[in-house]
A = this chain, B = another copy of it.
């Protein structure tokens, strides 16, 4: 899943370390999410959403699978 975390963070002039402190995770977690190593938990996705004041859907881009 793609995400706009790095872009949004930089728009706000924050370093990974500052952002990590703000959302109460480690800097490594921020780095891993930004570089696409893994997705955040739903809980953390909400925290990031709250921080940027944007819906989850505008930060994390989910490729909808066909059918369902």
Q: Given A50-B64, A56-B56, A64-B50, A41–B43 Cβ distance below 8 Å? A: no
Instruction: Kindly report how many copies of this chain are found in the complex they form together.
Output: 2
A: number of interface residues (CB 8 Å):
21
Q: Are A43 and B55 in contact (CB under 8 A)?
A: no
- A55 CB contacts on chain B under 8 angstroms: 55-57
Q: Are A23 and B62 in contact (CB under 8 A)?
A: no
Q: Which residues of A contact B (CB under 8 A)?
A: 1, 22-23, 39-43, 45-47, 50-51, 55-57, 60, 62, 64-65, 68
8 contacts between A and B (CB under 8 A): A1-B46, A39-B42, A40-B42, A41-B41, A42-B45, A50-B68, A55-B57, A56-B57
